[in-house]
Chain A
Amino acid sequence: MGNGDRFVYVTFIRTSPEKLWDALTKSEFTRQYWFGSSLDSTWEASASWQLKTPDGGLTDSGKVVEIEKPRRLVLTWKHERFPDMRDDNETARATFELEPQGEIVKLTVTHESDKKDSKLIKGVSNGWPIILASLKSLLETGKPIERTTTFPKGK
């Protein structure tokens, strides 16, 4: 890592680290704010994880590199579905850091590749902002952003 592409997103959410952790790692939550996708893993170090669309198709997968509930989660990340987001390596990583600050939690999502002009990082840079905005809405108001509850339609 270091010379490749990187996407960083920081947001502050009025919730607890435990609730935010659950929302990031359990399908009952991800289905609401992550375009209907389910996320499966045992969430142990070295375990595999899989993100799937509602038709059961695999969109992304990887391994759990580091896990420190409810503060830090590092995943390897490989895109599995769309040709225009598939890179020829499996070295991309996503890091989730949760830092409690009084009544809020600072969430930092870093998605990085060792490649320049990574198609994966370009793709996730389009996806994360609306997904994480919807996650914030869900935790603070009980309702996600409507357009993230189903997979995008059309072209």
Chain B
Amino acid sequence: MPDILHRIEVRSSPNDAYKALTTREGLASWWTTDTQGTFDEGGVIQFRFGTRGGFDMKVLELAPARSVLWQVVEGPAEWIGTKVSFELTKNGEFTVILFKHMGWKEPVEFMHHCSTKWAIFLLSLKSLVETGKGAPYPNDIHITGTWD
């Protein structure tokens, strides 16, 4: 069961990074502008990317300023059942974010693609908390010539 792993530091407090991961305004400003749902623990958030499709994430665990854990309950077959986590640690003026997308059944080509897209969106998250402006869908960097 391979995982996607990323590490990124952002110049902000853990609490500000946590807000960007747990509120509609925050998530819509770095991942996709089409973000709706219930953001509390036990809720389901719908992230949509136009004709590319989308994901429904169940919010499994929230630890303020420390961690976020989601599970994919609807979306592409490769994603269903996988879990996504963000762990936050203060490091001076920075917050270290350890990102995981866990439980892929196989390291398929789509996983390579999604890994690159996650890195792009984590840079968007960094930009959001540091400058107030991210690059969520539909303004994300495109990495496939004939799609996305």
Residues of A in contact with B (beta carbons under 8 Å apart): 31, 35-36, 52-58, 61, 80-83, 149-155
Contacts and interface: CB of A to CB of B under 8 A. Distances in A.
Given A53-B147, A54-B144, A150-B147, A83 B54 contact: yes
A30 to B, nearest CB: 12
Nearest to B50: A155
Nearest to B53: A82
B78 interface: yes
Interface stretch (B58-66, B85-93, B109-117): B109-117
Q: Is the interface of B mostly helix, strand, loop or mixed?
A: mixed
Given A55-B113, A56-B109, A154-B138, A83 B75 contact: yes
Contact of B77 (A54, A58, A152): A58
A54 B145 contact: yes
22 contacts: A52-B110, A53-B147, A55-B109, A55-B147, A56-B109, A56-B110, A56-B113, A57-B113, A58-B76, A58-B110, A80-B77, A81-B76, A81-B77, A83-B53, A83-B56, A83-B74, A149-B146, A151-B148, A153-B51, A154-B51, A155-B50, A155-B51
Contacts of B148: 54-55, 151
B78 A57 contact: yes
Q: Secondary structure of the A side of the interface?
A: loop
Nearest 5 interchain pairs by C-beta:
A56-B109, A80-B77, A151-B147, A36-B146, A56-B110
Given A53-B147, A54-B144, A83-B53, 14 more contacts: A31-B146, A55-B143, A55-B147, A55-B148, A56-B112, A56-B113, A57-B110, A80-B76, A150-B146, A151-B51, A151-B52, A151-B146, A154-B138, A155-B51
B1 interface: no
Interface residues of B, number: 24
A87 to B, nearest CB: 13
A36 B113 CA distance: 16
B76 A154 contact: no
Contacts of A82: 53
A83 B57 CA distance: 13
Interface in B97-112: 108-112
Given A154-B50, A155-B51, A54 B56 contact: no
Nearest to A36: B146
Nearest to B148: A55
A61 B148 CA distance: 21
B49 to A, nearest CB: 9
A143 to B, nearest CB: 16
